[in-house]
Amino acid sequence: RGGTAEREVPFAQPGSLTRVYAVASGKGGVGKSSVTVNLAAAMAADGLKVGVVDADIYGHSVPRMLGVDGRPTQVENMIMPPSAHGVKVISIGMFTPGNAPVVWRGPMLHRALQQFLADVYWGDLDVLLLDLPPGTGDIAISVAQLVPNAEILVVTTPQQAAAEVAERAGSIAVQTHQKIVGVVENMSGLPCPHCDEMVDVFGTGGGQKVAEGLTKTTGANVPVLGSIPIDVRLREGGDEGKPVVLTDPDSPAGAALRTIAGKL
Ligand code: ADP
């Protein structure tokens, strides 16, 4: 909409009833997107109106994980988001040809996020989840500017080295005066398929460490909202666009994710 004034972000207006969660992680590959899509699907299955903004500009994977194959359409001057499993989704990948990489810089990312929040027709959402890129980059700062009331959900693995990076990503909340809603520990052990024992592939304690560290730096209580085990069904669900919380809600990972969704 060249030349026209920027539309306001509805979720940032006083009186907005939409809860906005920005899902953050220190580094990639810890399951941030998997957690985002499963929480979204679980909340939609519970009857909430849910939207997801795939703001992981360089690693956008939300549409595949949710099985969204529709494209956004334009009605008047609004973008209509496609949806799957009752979740409305907008992703940078929907606006780039084929599998082309995104080579944008800060200002363009900010503009894209602004449009995703203000120019997409979301309707009355109960919850909006933002899948952030890993780390403490431009997008996290843009989110803080565009939706200051967004609460941060930090995803980490149990690994101590991963926890340190995740804590750094979460501590940006101090500078931006945002609330951290809690920490999710993912890949918390692999239940042995042959016996009842848990194999701690990535060690233990990362979630607790991040929660304690962030409680200290923010001065507010940051809880561990839950731990999700390593589960082949979760990975398969992501590859097939069928979130495990829907296909196998009582599997260990599915149940853990549904419990976390219930706390948000
Ligand atoms: P991120 O968004 O942090 O980069 P992803 O959600 O893309 O991470 O997850 C990285 C990979 O690990 C994906 O292939 C995903 O299916 C897999 N994965 C994530 N969490 C689990 C889990 N708890 N059990 C099994 N596989 C998982």
Instruction: Choose one of 34, 230, 232, 247 to mutate for the ligand 1 pocket test, by most ligand atoms within 8 angstroms of C-beta.
Output: 34
Q: How many CA atoms lie within 13 A of 118 on its CB side?
A: 17
Which protein residue's CA is at the shortest distance from atom 13 of ligand 1?
Answer: 235
Q: Is 33 annotated as a binding residue?
A: yes
How far lies 59's CA from each of 29, 31, 125, in Å? Answer: 10, 12, 25
- Asked if residues 88 and 54 have their Cβ atoms less than 8 Å apart, the reply is no
- Ligand 1 atom closest to 25 (CA): 3
CA distance 178 to 240: 34
Residue 146: Cβ within 10 Å count: 21
Centre of ligand 1 to C-alpha 31, Å, is 4
Q: What integer pLDDT is reported at residue 193 of this predicted model?
A: 84
Instruction: Choose one of 56, 235, 245, 258 to mutate for the ligand 1 pocket test, by most ligand atoms within 8 angstroms of C-beta.
Output: 235
- Ligand 1 atom closest to 28 (CA): 4
- Ligand 1 atom closest to 187 (CA): 23
CA torsion through residues 150, 83, 36, 28, sign? negative
| Backbone φ, ψ for residue 171 (5° rounding) | -70, -10
CA 92, 162, 178 angle in degrees (round to 5)? Answer: 60
Provide the ipTM.
0.99
Model confidence pLDDT, tens digit, residues 47-68: 999 999 999 877 789 999 999 9
| Mean pLDDT for all residues in the chain | 92
1, pLDDT greater than 60: no
Q: Is 70 annotated as a binding residue?
A: no
Q: What integer pLDDT is reported at residue 96 of this predicted model?
A: 76
Pocket of ligand 1 (CB under 6 A): 25, 28-34, 59, 61, 186-187, 228, 230-231, 234-235, 238, 253
pTM confidence score: 0.95
Q: Please name the helix (run of DSSP H) or strand (run of DSSP E) that holds residue 142, with its range, or none.
A: helix 138-146
Q: What does the block give as tokens for 70?
A: 């529709």
How far lies 171's CA from each of 38, 129, 147, 259, in Å? Answer: 25, 19, 17, 25
Lowest mean pLDDT among 33-37, 40-44, 112-116, 182-186: 112-116
- Asked if residues 126 and 50 have their Cβ atoms less than 8 Å apart, the reply is yes
Q: What share of the chain is helix, strand, coil (3-state, %, to 5)?
A: 40, 20, 40
Read off the amino acid at residue 106: G
Centre of ligand 1 to C-alpha 3, Å, is 41
Rounded mean pLDDT, 111-129: 95
- List of domains in the chain: 26-263 (3.40.50.300)
- Asked if residues 179 and 59 have their Cβ atoms less than 8 Å apart, the reply is no
Q: Is 216 annotated as a binding residue?
A: no
Model confidence pLDDT, tens digit, residues 161-203: 999 999 988 888 888 999 999 999 999 999 988 998 999 999 9
